[in-house]
C-alpha cells in the first residue's frame, strides 16, 4: 500500500503492519576471509563449501538498477554488506554509482576491517560516508576464538584507524556478545573507545541462519551489558538518531561519547523495522530471519521493465508481515532461515 505524503515528498510504501520502507542492505558477496562462529562457523563453511560463482552474483549495474527503484519507493539509507564486502573486486566503483542516486541520504558499509587499510581512502573518495567494523573483543584469545582464522585485534584496529583517517566517521564498532566467549571483555572494549569518537554497539547473540548452534543460554541480555558498563562509566539513555534505528543509544554522563545495544532477543524491535535485504545473487528478503526471498535476478536478466520490477517490489513490501523476534519461541527455533553471511547482519 502507498500513502500520499504532502509537500512533494515521495509516497510512502507501507507493509501490513504500517511500517514504511527506509533502509536497504545490499550484500555483494557470500564470501568472507573470517569464519566467525556466530555467522560462518568453520565446520560448515570450510574448504569444501560451495560459494556462489561469479556469474551468479548480481552485476554492479543490476544492483544499481534495483537500488534506484527502491530509492524511488522510499529507501533513503543504503548499507553495503556481505559476507565481507571488501573481498568483492572494484567495490569502490559500485559505491560511486550508488552515492550518485538522487534521494539517497546515507551510504555506509559493514566490514570486519581487515582490508580497510588498503581501501579506506578509495572508498571515501567513491562516496562512502561511514563504516561499521566488527570487533567482538580486544582480548586476542577471545577474538581469535570467535573469528576462527587467527585474525588479530591489531589488524582490525589498523582498519579502524584507516577509516578514521579517511573521514569515514563516526566509525561504529559492532561486538556480538556470547556468554562464555567474550562477555568478560565488554567493559574493556567500551573503555578502549571512550573519548575517541568511535561508537561501540553491543549485539545480543542471535539465532540467525541454521548453522551457528544458537542457544538461549549463551545470550547476554543488553540490560546486563549496560549494567557492566554503567558500573565502570555511568550512562544515561539518549533518543534515536532517526526513526527505525535498531540500536538503543546510551551516552557517558561525563561526555566521553556513547555506546549502543542491539536487543533483538530481549527487547525485539520488529514493530519499527524498515529494512529490506538484497542478497548477492539477487534475492530480496524482508527479514534477517526469513526462510525464503523473492528472486529478482531472473526477471532482471529476462528483460523486465522498470515498471514490472517496480510492481514486484511494491508487492513484496506491501505483503510484508515479518515479526520473527517478537514471536521467537521453541516453535520457531527449527524453522529454515537464510544464513546471515548471505544477506548481512
CATH topology of domain 2-343: TIM Barrel (3.20.20)
Average of per-residue pLDDT across 238-252: 89
Predicted TM-score (pTM) of this structure: 0.93
Closest CA to 213 of 175, 181, 174, 261: 181
Q: How far apart are CA 279 and CA 63, in angstroms?
A: 10
Judge whether 12 and 1 are in contact, CB under 8 Å: no
Judge whether 174 and 132 are in contact, CB under 8 Å: yes
Nearest 5°: the CA angle 340, 341, 345 is 45
Which position has the grid cell 570450510?
A: 46
Give pLDDT tens digits for 164-200: 999 999 999 999 999 999 999 999 999 999 999 999 9
Give pLDDT tens digits for 83-136: 999 999 999 999 999 999 999 999 999 999 999 999 999 999 999 999 999 999
SS3 sequence of 231-287: HHCCEEEECCCCCCCCCEEEEECCCCCEEEEECCCCCCCHHHCCEEEECCCCEEECC
Which triple of cell numbers denotes residue 131? 563504516
DSSP bridge pairs for 130: 108
- Full strand arrangement of the beta sheet holding 130-134: 235-238, 248-252, 258-262, 199-204, 172-177, 130-134, 106-111, 77-81, 23-27, 275-278, 283-285, 294-295
In a 3-state reduction of DSSP, which class is residue 220? coil
Give pLDDT tens digits for 54-77: 999 999 999 999 999 999 999 999
Amino acid at each position: 500500500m502507498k500513502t500520499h505524503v504532502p509537500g512533494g515528498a515521495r509516497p510512502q510504501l507501507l507493509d501490513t503492519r504500517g511500517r514504511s520502507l527506509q533502509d536497504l542492505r545490499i550484500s555483494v558477496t557470500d564470501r568472507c576471509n573470517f569464519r566467525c562462529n556466530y555467522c560462518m562457523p568453520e565446520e560448515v563453511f570450510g574448504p569444501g563449501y560451495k560459494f556462489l560463482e561469479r556469474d551468479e552474483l548480481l552485476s554492479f549495474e543490476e544492483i544499481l538498477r534495483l537500488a534506484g527503484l527502491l530509492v524511488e519507493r522510499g529507501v533513503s539509507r543504503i548499507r553495503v554488506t556481505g559476507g565481507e564486502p571488501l573481498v568483492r573486486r572494484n567495490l569502490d566503483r559500485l559505491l560511486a554509482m550508488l552515492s550518485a542516486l538522487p534521494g539517497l541520504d546515507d551510504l555506509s558499509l559493514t566490514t570486519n576491517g581487515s582490508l580497510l587499510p588498503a581501501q579506506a581512502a578509495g572508498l571515501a573518495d567513491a562516496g562512502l560516508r561511514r563504516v561499521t567494523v566488527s570487533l567482538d573483543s580486544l582480548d586476542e584469545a577471545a577474538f581469535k576464538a570467535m573469528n576462527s582464522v587467527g585474525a588479530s585485534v591489531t589488524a582490525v584496529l589498523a582498519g579502524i584507524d584507516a577509516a578514521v583517517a579517511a573521514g569515514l566517521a563516526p566509525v561504529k564498532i559492532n561486538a556480538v556478545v556470547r556468554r562464555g566467549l567474550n562477555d568478560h571483555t565488554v567493559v574493556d572494549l567500551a573503555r578502549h573507545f571512550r573519548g575517541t569518537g568511535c561508537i561501540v554497539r553491543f549485539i545480543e547473540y542471535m539465532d540467525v541462519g541454521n548453522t551457528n548452534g544458537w542457544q538461549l543460554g549463551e545470550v547476554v541480555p543488553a540490560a546486563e551489558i549496560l549494567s557492566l558498563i554503567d558500573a565502570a562509566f555511568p550512562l544515561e539513555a539518549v533518543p534515536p538518531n532517526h526513526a527505525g534505528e535498531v540500536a538503543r543509544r546510551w551516552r557517558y554522563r561525563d561526555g566521553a561519547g556513547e555506546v549502543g545495544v542491539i536487543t533483538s532477543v530481549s527487547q525485539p524491535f520488529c514493530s519499527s523495522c524498515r529494512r529490506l535485504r538484497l542478497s548477492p545473487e539477487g534475492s530480496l528478503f524482508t527479514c534477517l530471519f526469513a526462510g525464503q526471498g523473492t528472486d529478482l535476478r531472473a526477471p532482471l536478466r529476462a528483460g523486465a521493465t522498470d515498471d514490472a520490477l517496480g510492481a514486484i517490489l511494491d508487492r513484496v513490501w506491501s505483503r510484508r508481515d515479518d515479526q520473527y523476534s517478537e514471536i521467537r519461541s521453541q516453535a520457531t527455533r527449527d524453522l529454515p532461515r537464510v544464513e546471515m553471511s548471505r544477506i548481512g547482519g
